[in-house]
Amino acid sequence: MNLLTKIPLSKANDQIDYSSRLLLMGSCFSENIGAKLSHYKFQGLQNPFGILFHPLAIEKLIQKALTQETFNEGIVFQANEQWHCFDAHSCISNPSKEQLVVDLNTGLDQTAEQLKVASHVIITLGTAWVYRNRDSGEIVANCHKVPQTNFTKELLSVDEVRESLKRMITLIQSVNSSTHVIFTVSPVRHLKDGFVENQRSKAHLISAIHQTIETSNFSPRVSYFESYEIMMDELRDYRFYAKDMIHPNETAIAYIWEKFVEVWINDSITDDMKKVDEVQRGLQHRPFNPESEAHQKFLTSLSKKIAYIRKAYPFMDFEISKA
């Protein structure tokens, strides 16, 4: 008896291995995939401006990074004893105006450098709903809890999303023609927008991505990974959601990660990933008696495993805690 429908997946042609250089940008689901990639010690930069929910926010920062624009103190504002920027997530906000500007420009530099060398750029879109600042007329990446009366809410059309994605890809390929752009739609439900509104938004994103892939000359260096469809079809049960009933829980994230590995990670590094995972789990171990002979033997064994991995992959750093 078959109790679920499975999304048909096939291995990608341009797969990721330990020589790959990655850039991840987008919604909070990109943080979930990014955390897995980080755990397995892939080389990458993840959300240098924090979580970005819609395509125009991602496009704007890529454009600023690659045209060498900079942030200045005139672009930031103070609210709730913090300095913020409407182009970045609140995790970048800072009590110091000067430090915020430094951090924003550092993010631009990091993004530009990573785009130039990235083998894969993974962009996760969360919503097609955007907020426009009434004072500036600009669409913002984050409202930073500024009163909603200061913004108008708009739904980007399929055409608007598609054109943003095309501009994004063109910008990336202008500095790195060999990179592979992987789009995915976040399975996180944006229910604050409304149930119907969330579905409209996701539909616009999915349609725009596929129109971009099918009707442009970017293919085959632009792909789509079905994270949203896996969540909605294979994991269509509330037991796969966190307590807020909005975000995928750890089980769902692990399942979608397994599917990502199946499609995008080269089989040649499977054994090495297992070795890295074993070391990472070992590093999380907290002994009852750090001075015991058994624990010292454990640390010696762990050090040998790390040395073995670093001989093959010198860029991997592991830190052993003595406590």
pLDDT tens digits, 104-142: 999 999 999 999 999 999 999 999 999 999 999 999 999
Given this model, what pLDDT does residue 1 score? 77
CA distance 210 to 158: 10
Over range 234-248, report the average pLDDT: 94
pLDDT tens digits, 148-207: 999 999 999 999 999 999 999 999 999 999 999 999 999 999 999 999 999 999 999 999
- Length reported for the chain: 323
pLDDT at residue 286 is higher than 80: no
Query: Class of 21-265 per CATH?
Result: alpha beta
Q: What is the percent of the chain with per-residue pLDDT over 90, rounded to a whole number?
A: 86
Give the angle subtended at the CA of 297 by the CAs of 293 and 298, to the nearest 5°: 115
pLDDT at residue 18 is higher than 80: yes
**C-alpha torsion sign, points 138, 140, 146, 148:** positive
Which structure tokens are listed for 22?
A: 């990655």
Over range 274-291, report the average pLDDT: 86
Given this model, what pLDDT does residue 285 score? 78
Given this model, what pLDDT does residue 150 score? 97
Which structure tokens are listed for 236?
A: 């269509």
Given this model, what pLDDT does residue 10 score? 95
What rounded mean pLDDT belongs to the chain? Answer: 94
pLDDT band at 87 (very low <50, low <70, confident <90, very high): very high
Least Cα distance to 198 among 212, 187, 210 occurs for 187
Alpha helices, DSSP H, located in 18-154? 28-39, 55-66, 97-117
Sheet with 151-155: strands ordered across: 139-140, 129-133, 151-155
Indicate the pairing of strand 43-46 with strand 21-26.
parallel
Least Cα distance to 223 among 264, 171, 281, 191 occurs for 264
Give the single-character DSSP code of 193: G
Least Cα distance to 189 among 241, 230, 253 occurs for 241
pLDDT at residue 15 is higher than 60: yes
Alpha helices, DSSP H, located in 192-290? 195-214, 227-229, 250-264, 270-283
CA distance 173 to 308: 37
Given this model, what pLDDT does residue 168 score? 97
pLDDT at residue 50 is higher than 90: yes
Given this model, what pLDDT does residue 104 score? 98
CA distance 190 to 153: 14
CA distance 174 to 319: 38
CA distance 215 to 209: 10
Burial of residue 51 (CB within 10 Å: 0-12, 13-18, 19+) is: buried
Given this model, what pLDDT does residue 180 score? 97
pTM: 0.94
Which structure tokens are listed for 250?
A: 């750890």
Q: How many CB atoms lie within 10 A of CB 312?
A: 11
pLDDT tens digits, 198-230: 999 999 999 999 999 998 787 689 999 999 999
Q: What is the percent of the chain with per-residue pLDDT over 70, rounded to a whole number?
A: 98
Which is more confident, 215 or 290? 215
Omega before residue 220 within 30° of 0, cis: yes
Q: Residue ranges per domain, the chain?
A: 21-265, 267-323
pLDDT band at 323 (very low <50, low <70, confident <90, very high): low
pLDDT at residue 322 is higher than 80: no
The phi, psi pair for 135, rounded to 5°, reads -75, -50
pLDDT tens digits, 244-270: 999 999 999 999 999 999 999 999 999
